[in-house]
Chains A and B, each alone.
Chain A
């Protein structure tokens, strides 16, 4: 067996080789192409900032439990941070998503980045929804009884049981955030790996170089 064949059939080595391509300079660059100059580029970072606020405040909420966040005082304040963090998260994520669409940022081998972004968005919506159900007030009750028909009708209610606070809370504080954080990390790794997507060719470039995708 050739050395090459041996290497490519060995997944542990493949993982190692892949890991070696992630250098510190790639992850934390000290330079960027000059076209990276717009507020649009901060939307992703602001989304990430909001995610950090949401995760940290969520950890504090989970550590203290439902009675704490329903009792006026520090608990309700922390719930406020979590709630407005989520509002900011979605606000910046929608701006980010829209901007990336208009920049055609999936070009030149970046489809994976786009796909992970869309999946992160979908998981975020489900995570936020389980959060609404976990608040433990009238709105939670109302959303539980209303949405059960939707989940039942769609065929997943037999597993995703919105009336089961234990399951929904577990999904909200552990399972879904773990999936979301993994996806966002991969999203960011891909962004760094490919570098920021170059602009569509300029007018004079396009004439010389043919149509762009």
Chain B
């Protein structure tokens, strides 16, 4: 029985210079890339700092800090890897891989974001000391009552000339503590006081970013249409092409259940994993692996070859040549 050709070496050959091909492709790309960077530049938007929030959005800053102090912020309730909360714990039934690695970056926002920076500031502002002692000596429920009273008064605060006047209420040492914290922030000292998970290598910016992550970053993101429902980072980069290769992934977030479920991230991640496995398996999947043959798009790629073998003027010679080579082995 006659077998069809499988070995590239048995086809008629033409001369070919791989080094030339490689150099040409490299130069083509280099030229395109240089033109693009000269003509279009590269995206950059100044980072958001705690200092900016403390000076430009003082009420937002105080509100964020009060929630951190009271353990009612999103991060205080988040769950692994920061703590044992359940606020952002994603689960499908009893499947919650988030808990497997446990709490690997322990973050207690009240301590990290408020109390420790304040105790560091005591030498600069000795008046802070009694406020901190009062806070530390109080019971948990007393602390809650103070913060709640403060949070209720805060929306009625008057902001004038960089100072925030919160109406007087039964909020104990909270106003003194938080306005000292804001002074630290508007002076530009706060992120340095926060990001010290390791004493020397201050590469881990979890504390400062987690402080900013709520309302502050969202307000700024909204200005740039970056929110998840707006295709998130796909809208990235102002008018530049963002990471468009993430489209299949970000597309998931536009449709239910990914867009509606609290475990949307978990579902999207595992959906992508399944898609990756399917892509890997294409050569072995009956039905899928025959697809390109059925679609016949390959006939465009090898147009000249089919032309010569099937009907072109060289058909007989080239077909016969190939056949001869095949028979010779």
Contact = CB atoms under 8 A, between A and B. Distances in A.
A65 B179 CA distance: 37
Interface stretch (A2-10, A15-23, A158-166, A174-182): A158-166
Contact of B16 (A32, A87, A154, A161): A32
Of the four ranges (under 10, 10 to 19, 20 to 34, 35 or more), the interface on chain B belongs to 35 or more
Interface in A130-178: 132, 135-146, 149-159, 161, 163-167, 169
Interface stretch (B56-64, B121-129, B291-299): B291-299
B104 A158 contact: yes
Contact of B293 (A87, A104, A146): A104
B8 A195 contact: yes
B18 interface: yes
B159 interface: no
Interface string A192-213: 0011111111111110111011
Contacts of B30: 49, 53
A202 B16 contact: no
A34 B318 contact: yes
Nearest to A103: B298
Interface in B79-110: 79-81, 88, 90, 97-98, 100-105
Given A104-B298, A146-B233, A212 B280 contact: no
A137 B45 contact: yes
Interface of B: 2-9, 11-19, 21-22, 25-30, 32-34, 36-38, 40-48, 79-81, 88, 90, 97-98, 100-105, 201, 203-206, 209-210, 212-213, 217, 220-221, 224, 226, 228, 232-233, 236-237, 241, 243-246, 263, 265-266, 268-270, 276, 279-280, 282-284, 289-290, 292-293, 295, 297-298, 301-306, 308-310, 318-319
Given A141-B209, A152-B98, A153-B98, 11 more contacts: A33-B11, A34-B11, A37-B14, A40-B301, A85-B33, A102-B298, A132-B243, A157-B81, A195-B8, A201-B4, A202-B306
20 contacts: A33-B9, A42-B25, A49-B26, A49-B27, A83-B43, A87-B241, A103-B301, A125-B246, A145-B210, A152-B81, A153-B263, A158-B101, A161-B81, A163-B209, A165-B204, A198-B7, A199-B301, A201-B5, A203-B310, A204-B309
